[in-house]
Structure 1
């Protein structure tokens, strides 16, 4: 008897390895972002939510730039090879993907912080509260 889990067979190991390895080119997780921020991040962390939500609580060290405001003129402050990591409220929100798409469309390197603020809090990390910077 087959279940919904086994109805489609698992990919061969070499294909699974390539798929899961490739995923790291597109996303990172809250733990790795936190660790990098503690040790001198080599990327720019963008909170792509509204200024009001950013002010109410955000990842310490993040810059607020709502995804709709990610345009070439705003990105000119950073070199073309700067890696951006976007996040939003969490897995129920597609703002991080919207921001990442806009950055990629501008030819910018980008990853998403999987889990967003929900994942950040789930890891036990604190939020900062401040005025929005966008």
Structure 2
């Protein structure tokens, strides 16, 4: 009798390869973002897309702040259009990053979500910054 794990067979390797390659085109994780920021090699702009209060209480150090409801071509004008934007929100219980990524994609911007958001960042043991600056969108 198969377990719940094996009751549905795993996908063939070629299908799994396509699936996971596609998934990584849409997502990155907290450890990869932290590594790039810590090494000073970030080739992306990190955006916290939560509200002002949540950002002020704790955000990824160096993240710009652009609430998802304020995303517009005008607000992004200072960022070159080919720059990868990495967005995050509160965590897996929040779809704000998904909504922000959709808005950015509709504006023709390359975008990935930092899975886990603030919850994932903290779970990895990484520190948060507080306050509203530095890291506002105007300073990124």
Decide: shared fold, TM above 0.5: yes
Secondary structure of the 1:74 match is coil
Unaligned runs of 5+ in 2: none
Q: CA RMSD in A?
A: 1.3
Count of residue pairs the alignment pairs up: 134
**Aligned residue number for residue 37 of structure 2:** 37
Following TM superposition, by how much is the alpha carbon of 1:72 offset from its aligned partner in structure 2, in angstroms? 1.0
Output aligned runs, 1:1-134, within 5 Å: 1-40=1-40, 41-131=42-132, 133=136
User: Which 4+ stretches in 1 moved above 4 angstroms?
Assistant: none
User: What TM-score do you get using the length of structure 1 for normalisation?
Assistant: 0.94
Unaligned runs of 5+ in 1: none
User: What TM-score do you get using the length of structure 2 for normalisation?
Assistant: 0.90
After superposition, what is the alpha-carbon deviation per residue over 1:37-93, rounded to whole angstroms, capped at 9, x for unaligned? 112211100000001110000000001101111111111111110100000000000
